[in-house]
Chain A
Amino acid sequence: MSGGDRVTLTIDGEQATVPAGLNVIEAARRIGREVPHYCYHPRLKVAGNCRVCLVEIEGRPKLEIGCNTRVAEGMVVHTANDRVRAARSGVMEFLLINHPLDCTICDQAGECKLQDYAVHHGPGITRFEFEKAHKPKRVSWGDKIVFDSERCILCTRCIRFLDEIAGTDEVSIDLRGEKSTLIVKGDGKLTSPYQMNIIDLCPVGALTSRDFRFKTRVWFMQFTNTICTSCARGCNVVAGSRSDRLLRMVPRMNPEVNDHWMCDHGRLHYAFVNDEARLATPRVGGRPVIYATAVDRAAALLDEARGAGILAVASPFMTNEELFAMKGILDRLEIETRYVLSPQGEGDDLLQHPEKSPNVRGAELAGFAPAPEDWPSDRPWGALFWIVPREGGELPEALLAAAERRILFSLKQRAADVCFPLSTWIEKDGTVVSAGPRLQRLQRGIAVVPGLLTERVVLDHLHTALDPVYRGPETAAQALARIAEREPAFRGVSWTEVGSGGLVLRPAEVPA
């Protein structure tokens, strides 16, 4: 028995007690049954046009669509009896009669709902003897998306996303009947900074990404659950890679952060990861050296410069574990001038945060002050110890010139006494404090540069070089455990508890 805000119904002979207000698709999902669907999406208004989710509700003469049927007390639902299966197979046949058989060259193959459902729910043969419908192909929807109307099943997810979520209402349907085709209003080019989400929403291969198309078959890729580091939102993503090259990022559903979406900027902002011109080995005086040589040299220079003063500038792209490793060195050397650069930009009401880096909050928790507007350039520092942000943070030329010694971590080679190569977020494990404040986990997916050591490892070596009794943690998880022991804001957190979805930190102890 159930009451109030829950109802009990029977789905395929199994009793299920679910929240009132759910539709049949969601109710079935709660008990592990999939009612196949194309047009339905939990975050979009119900369209009811694909007809794949037809189910039988006892007492109702016609089959009903699961997406638009709310559960009711005592309802008896059949999602897979003969009648439902026959109807579903019929709908699949209709969807396939005019669909091109071009899976072999279609980017969606391997993650295509039309393929999946054709196998599981389709008739398995074709009875359609006529020439398939011809519609526009390779239609440019701007610089990000290519549209193939023959593959389109007109589920209208893209239309609804742009209207209901992105708010730009840019796509519509032109013509009628079996000639129906999607069009972009106006000049035919999409403008939404969130437009690429419609590629993910498209259940078939009608919308493909210019950036990703034809790069690989998806089944050759490896997938890593990590987060986007282009702004402080920290959208949860799945990074797809092959042969240690990052090829694509797609959003990973997290209702507390980014829901099902991410912005195009974050999605496309990864070319620097695969850049052949990245600094690959440490340099001393511009010459490539092994890590041990560079670490020893950096330690010696820092030790020498202590008297004349050292300016330490962290990067907001560093993980908490890296920031606290750097803090350990600065504490050891008793350096108090610690700053972090924080690139800023435009934000919006959906996901984009004005802080264009993932971890300014973590840097501040580790004791790095926001960089001043005007650096005191009159002071000739004994050394500059700077983790150069991968983008969006520069120090004044005068300040750089006035520093007697420069120990840097940088994506590209820079004039420095010691320059270590920077690792990118997809090459390391670690945590960041996103807006929220929310502790989220980066996960190592690939190793673009052979032999590259992450900043945390290099900084710990440097620490050991300055203090022979120091031993750094072996892993990011252990590093986080150490932080959790000492820092109130992180009290009680652990690597496994953060998980792939993150957790909320106590706001009182974290800078907003």
Chain B
Amino acid sequence: MIQETRIMLEHAGDPAQKTLAGYRGHGGYEALEKALRTMTPDEVNVEVETSGLRGRGGAGFPTGRKWRFVPQTDKPVYLAVNADESEPGTCKDRQIMERDPHQLLEGALLACYAIGARTAYIYVRGEYPHSIQALEAAIAEAREARLIGRNILGSGFDCDIWVHSGAGAYICGEETALLTSLEGNRGYPRIRPPFPAVEGLWGCPTIVNNVETISCVTHIIRRGGTWFASLGCEGSTGTRLFCLSGHIRNPGVYELECGKFTLRELLMELGGGTKSGRPIRGVMPGGSSMPVLRADELDIRFDIDSVSKAGSSLGSGAIMVFDDSVRVVDLALNIAEFYAHETCGQCTPCREGCDWVRRMLKKFAEGRAAPDDIELLKDVTSKMDGTTICALAEALVWPVQSYLKKFRADFEAAIVREAAKA
């Protein structure tokens, strides 16, 4: 039986954990004190490298290595915490922000200490007013206790944390669009190079990390990188928050060690199978933007590298399940409608392509597609793949291509045959 390993969510059930007193009662801010008193910034970075921590926003880049990209500079360095949790199916970061916000603040202070930042911004999606409230309350308390601000814990380390609310655009979860939005501009992704670690906020070096990633840092410094690395499996160390939703009996957020179970075990044992009792038809393993896995592909070890080897991705940890009552053409259309609505429109293939794909999928969903439409859909999506500024186009293209490949019969069934018409 799969067991949860609760680290980030250990005290999530305790309402007092939101308060500074409650958090300190569970060892809160000891990691910060330890780092500021006994560790150099480089040692903090080394500890994070030792932990094997990889980003939890979707791309899975090694966090300690990312921090090393900050160049020697006279400019200010910034930390931007990505709390624009907007990938469909993802609802893990809000658990941290609303139930245990201080671990995020502590992690942010540690990260700032490591990268030489004196300011952190937490960019929270506008649809999360409760998260914003919880963070602001926590920041106020921490500031009052001199854990945020000047000369933290008498160490001489100054660091401030600000919460910034988004305004409802999915694209602002893309790290460079987030920075542009944070600067007060339209949420457009930026071309790379330069990368944010070199030129981010206001042209200054900026590290962008996900809420869960930064929260892990707190526990890594508290209990050591080696301890963290001992959890999970190689390539997916520590614990990870998974958001189980869709046609599942026990939806929710689970904190698990990767590599200790297969996807099917997760769905059947923790998830309890489908709510309807009907067979699972497919699973989106890492948010709606990741290629789908069919029911016969669920016996894979569920960690970053194994899922990647299976042609999909752990993404943001959002696992969405659908049973055999779902017509895949409807599902594909639903996804396309989301991305066609959310494309920022900055670059050509995505601006024009997302809506074109949506309109083609609408034909399939309405059962009026032409025989050539499957090939057309494949070709148009291929022209959007790898030709854009950011990954939003691929967030539409990858799942659609995977549905075409894995559920082709659904698409063929939606074609009006000449014979049938006559």
State yes or no: do A and B come from one complex.
yes
**1/0 contact string of B346-388 vs chain A (CB within 8 Å):** 1111011111100100000000000000001000101110111
Contact of B191 among A48, A52, A93, A127 (CB under 8 A): A48
Evaluate contact between B383 and A94: CB separation under 8 angstroms.
yes
Q: A98 to B383: give the CA distance in the assembly, Å.
A: 16
> Of all chain A residues, which has the CB nearest B356?
A97
Do A176 and B169 touch (CB < 8 A)? yes
**A 84-95 to B, binary, CB cutoff 8 A, 1 in contact else 0:** 001100110111
User: How does the 8 Å CB contact mask read for A58-69 relative to B, with 1 for contact and 0 for none?
Assistant: 000011010010
Shortest Cβ distance from B269 into chain A, in angstroms? 38
Bound together, the chains give a CA A178 to CA B265 distance in angstroms of 42
Decide if A49 is an interface residue (CB 8 Å cutoff): yes
The distance from the CB of B416 to the nearest CB of chain A, in whole angstroms, is 14
Contact A173 B383 (CB under 8 A): no
* Segment at the A interface, from B123-131, B196-204, B217-225, B336-344: B336-344
Bound Cα distance A68, B388 (Å)? 13
Partner of B383, one of A93, A153, A172, A179: A93
Q: What residue in chain A is nearest B383 (Cβ atoms)?
A: A90
A49 B347 Cβ-Cβ under 8 A = yes
- Chain B residues in 8 Å Cβ range of A178: 340, 343, 345, 351-352, 354-355
Tell whether B389 is near chain A: CB-to-CB under 8 Å.
Answer: yes
Q: Quote the shortest CB–CB distance from B202 to chain A (angstroms).
A: 15
Q: How far is the CA of A250 from the CA of B383 in the complex (A)?
A: 37
Beta-carbon contact of A68 and B340 below 8 Å: no
B349, A51: Cβ atoms closer than 8 Å: yes
A292 located at the interface, meaning its Cβ lies under 8 Å from any Cβ of chain B in the complex: no
Establish whether residues A87 and B383, one from each chain, have CB atoms under 8 Å apart when the complex forms.
Answer: yes
Cβ contacts A149-191/B at 8 Å (1 or 0 each): 0000110000000000000000011011111100000000000
**B-chain residues with CB within 8 Å of residue A49 when the two chains form the complex:** 346-348, 389
Residues of chain A within 8 A (CB-CB) of B347 are: 48-51
Report how far A62 CA is from B172 CA in the complex, Å. 23
Q: How far is the CB of A313 from chain B (nearest CB, A)?
A: 56
With A51-B348, A51-B387, A54-B387 known as contacts, the answer to whether A177 contacts B340 (CB < 8 A) is yes
Q: Kindly state whether residue B184 has any CB partner on chain A within 8 Å.
A: no
Taking a contact as CB atoms under 8 Å apart, the answer to whether B191 and A68 are in contact is: yes
Residues from chain A with a CB closer than 8 A to the CB of B193 are 68
* Docked CA distance A47–B386 (Å): 17
Chain A: minimal CB distance from B119 (Å) = 26
Interface set, chain B 215-273, CB cutoff 8 A to A: none
Q: Write out, one digit per residue, whether chain B residues 68-80 have a CB within 8 A of any chain A CB (1) or not (0).
A: 0000000000000
For the complex formed, measure the closest distance between the CB of A337 and the CB atoms of chain B, giving whole angstroms. Answer: 61
Known contacts A173-B186, A178-B343, A50 near B389 by CB under 8 Å: no
Instruction: Find the A residue at minimum CB distance from B186.
Output: A173
Q: Which residues of B contact A173 (CB under 8 A)?
A: 186, 345
| Given A68-B191, A87-B387, A91-B387, A127 and B376 contact (CB-CB distance below 8 Å) | yes
Shortest beta-carbon distance from A164 to chain B in Å: 15
Interface size on B, residues (CB 8 A): 30
Interface string of A125-140 (1 = CB under 8 A from B): 0011010010000000
B354 with A94: CB separation less than 8 A? no
Contact of B348 with A153 in the complex, beta carbons under 8 Å: yes
Taking a contact as CB atoms under 8 Å apart, the answer to whether B387 and A95 are in contact is no
Report whether A179 and B345 are in contact in the complex, using a CB–CB cutoff of 8 Å: yes
Is B344 a contact partner of A128 (Cβ separation < 8 A)? no
Q: CA separation between A65 and B341, bound complex, in Å?
A: 26
Q: Which residues 23-57 of B have a CB within 8 angstroms of A?
A: none
Query: A residues within 8 A CB of B345?
Result: 154, 173, 175-180
> Could you say which residues of chain B place their CB within 8 Å of the CB of A68?
191, 193
Name which of B343, B359, B383 has the most chain A CB atoms within 10 A of its CB.
B383
Known: A63-B386, A176-B169. A94 touches B348 (CB 8 A): yes
Total number of A residues with any Cβ neighbor in B under 8 Å: 35
Whether, in the assembled complex, A46 has its beta carbon less than 8 Å from a beta carbon of chain B, the answer is: yes
Determine the chain A residues whose CB is within 8 A of the CB of B343 once the complex forms.
176-178
Across-interface contacts of B353 in A (CB, < 8 A):
94
Q: What is the chain A residue whose CB lies nearest that of B373?
A: A129
Query: A95 touching B340 by the CB < 8 A rule?
Result: no
B352 engages A94 (CB within 8 Å)? yes
Contact of A50 with B348 in the complex, beta carbons under 8 Å: yes
Distance of A53 from chain B, by nearest CB (Å): 11
Query: B residues within 8 A CB of A93?
Result: 383
Query: Could you tell me the distance in whole angstroms from the C-beta of B158 to the nearest C-beta in chain A?
Result: 33
CB contacts (< 8 Å) of B355 on chain A: these are 133, 177-178
How distant is the Cα of A127 from the Cα of B359 in the complex, in angstroms?
13
CB-nearest residue of chain A to B389: A48
Nearest Cβ distance between residue B185 and chain A, in whole angstroms? 10
| Cβ of B354 to closest chain A Cβ, rounded Å | 7
Q: Would you call A130 and B191 a contact (CB within 8 A)?
A: no
Alpha-carbon gap, A180 to B384, bound state (A):
18
Tell whether, in the assembled complex, residue B387 and residue A63 are in contact, meaning their CB atoms are under 8 Å apart.
yes
Q: Which residues of B have CB within 8 Å of A54?
A: 387
Q: Given A97-B352, A177-B354, are A51 and B341 neighbors across the interface (CB < 8 Å)?
A: no
- For A172, what are the chain B residues with a Cβ–Cβ distance below 8 Å? 186
For the complex, give the distance between the alpha carbons of A179 and B344 in Å: 10
* B351 with A177: CB separation less than 8 A: yes
Contacts of B388 in A (CB 8 A): 51
Closest chain-A Cβ to B400's Cβ sits at a distance in Å of: 16
When chains A and B are docked, how far (Å) is the Cα of A91 from the Cα of B354? 13
Indicate if the CB atoms of B349 and A90 lie closer than 8 Å: yes
The residues of B that contact A90 with a CB separation of less than 8 Å are 349, 382-384, 387
- Which of B191, B348, B356, B387: most chain A CB closer than 10 A? B348
Q: CB distance B340 to A91 under 8 Å? A: no
Separation of A497 and B347 alpha carbons in the complex (Å): 45
What chain A residues lie within 8 Å of B376 (beta carbons)? 127
Per the bound structure, the CA–CA distance linking A130 and B388 in Å amounts to 23
Docked complex Cα distance between A310 and B386 (Å) = 78
A408 CB → nearest B CB, Å? 59
In the complex, chain B residues whose CB is within 8 Å of the CB of A133: 355
Give chain A residues whose Cβ lies under 8 Å from the Cβ of B344: 176-177
In the bound assembly, the distance between CA atoms of A52 and B387 in angstroms comes to: 9
Q: Are B354 and A62 in contact (CB under 8 A)?
A: no
Instruction: Choose one: A48, A63, A98, A175; the contact of B352 (CB below 8 Å).
Output: A98
A62 to B383 alpha-carbon distance, docked (Å): 12
CA distance A172 to B345 in the complex (A): 13
Hey, what's the 0/1 contact readout for B388-413 against A, CB within 8 Å counting as 1? Answer: 11000000000000000000000000
CA distance A153 to B387 in the complex (A): 16
| Distance in Å: Cβ of B399 to nearest Cβ of chain A | 18
Q: List chain B residues, Cβ under 8 A from A127.
A: 376, 380
> What is the distance, in angstroms, from B296's C-beta to the closest C-beta of chain A?
30
Which A residues lie within 8 Å of B340 (CB)? 177-178
Residues of chain A lying within 8 A (CB to CB) of residue B384: 90
Closest chain B CB from A101 CB (angstroms):
16
State A386–B380 Cα separation when bound (angstroms): 71
Taken together as a complex, chains A and B put the C-alpha atoms of A172 and B348 apart, in Å, by 17
| Contacting residues, chain A, for B359 (C-beta < 8 A) | 130
Complex contacts, B354 vs chain A, CB 8 Å: 177-178
| Chain B nearest CB, measured from A409 CB (Å) | 56
Q: Among the interface residues A49, A128, A180, which one has the most CB atoms of the partner chain B within 10 A?
A: A49
Measured between C-beta atoms, what is the minimum distance from B14 to chain A in Å?
A: 41
Task: Identify the interface centre among B340, B347, B352, B353: most chain A CB within 10 Å of its CB.
Answer: B352
Interface contacts beyond A46-B191, A154-B346: sample of 18 additional A-B pairs, CB < 8 Å, sorted by A? A48-B389, A49-B348, A63-B387, A90-B382, A93-B383, A94-B348, A94-B352, A95-B352, A97-B356, A127-B380, A154-B345, A175-B345, A176-B169, A177-B343, A178-B340, A178-B354, A179-B345, A180-B345
Ordered by A's residue number, 22 sampled pairs between the chains whose C-beta atoms are within 8 Å are A46-B191, A48-B347, A49-B347, A50-B348, A51-B347, A51-B348, A62-B386, A90-B384, A90-B387, A91-B349, A94-B352, A127-B380, A130-B359, A153-B348, A154-B345, A175-B345, A177-B351, A177-B354, A178-B343, A178-B352, A178-B354, A178-B355
Closest 3 pairs (CB-CB, A-B): A90-B383, A48-B191, A180-B345
Residues of chain B having any CB pair with chain A under 8 Å: 169, 186, 191, 193, 340-349, 351-356, 359, 376, 380, 382-384, 386-389
